[in-house]
Amino acid sequence: MKTFLERNAMRALNVALRVGEAIIHRAYRDGRRVFFEPRDFPWTAKLESGWCDIRAELDDVLEDRARIPTFQAVSREQEYITTDQGWKVFVFSIYGAPVERNCRRCPRTAALLREVPGLRNAFFSILAPGKRIPEHRGVYNGLLRYHLGLRVPADAENCVLTVKGEERRWREGSALIFDDSFPHSVRNDTPEERVVLFADFVRPLPLPVSLMNRVVLAALGTSPLFREPIARFERGEL
């Protein structure tokens, strides 16, 4: 059970997140943009050019699917999103803290991820056939989300990301970047697995909004949403 101080700290953090979001929405030209062009982020070219190496390391990881944790096992704070075995994650980084054993297992992927400025979270996101992730939203728009298609079902039309009513479909070797603070959902209505390299990175912002964002992100990094899974990886529980 959370203590009085912990509850008040979470309330203060939630206020900071909502104020920060409002500032980004109103003070930044692209503050309400949903999808972004990957070519506007120069580092994405390296990941796309190395996608075959990443895919090869993914294929090795998938040989031992049973040992890959579910999303809710890693992030207990978000169990409301999924409760079955349909969404698994092979984690490289949680809020900037690397999961060293996974990085050693996939050295090329880990090296390419180090090229991402402001990287916070990164993992292979593995959706089982028929899996749906209901509509939800990310915690804060000071981060943007990157997906690199690694395994896309042949029936790509029925494997869909929807963000604020806009649909996108993955392609192997190609990237999507979006603001996950908008309501979004995923459906894999196919008989095949869908896997992307998933990464959250600090949203590029002009001064002085970038300074505000840095402060809010530092506070977010102290929350149980990230501290608890980091501690569990360090203890070898995941």
pLDDT (tens digit per residue) in 177-186? 999 999 999 9
Q: What does the pLDDT read at residue 2? A: 58
pLDDT (tens digit per residue) in 90-132? 999 999 999 999 999 999 999 999 999 999 999 999 999 999 9
Tell me what the pLDDT averaged over the chain comes to. 95
Q: Is the pLDDT of residue 5 over 60?
A: no
> Please, what CATH class does the domain formed by 4-234 belong to?
mainly beta
Is the dihedral angle over the CA atoms 86, 108, 150, 170 positive or is it negative? positive
Q: Within 13 Å and on the Cβ side, how many CA atoms surround 185?
A: 10
Bridge partner residues of 200 (DSSP)? 121, 145
Helices 4-27 and 209-220: crossing angle in degrees, nearest 10, is 150
Cα 26 from Cα 21, distance rounded (Å)? 9
| Cα Rg of the chain (Å, integer) | 17
* Beta strands 184-188 and 132-136, pairing class: antiparallel
Confidence of residue 194 (pLDDT cuts 50, 70, 90): very high
Domain boundary assignment for the chain: 4-234
Question: Closest by alpha carbon to 170, among 150, 145, 191, 192?
Answer: 150
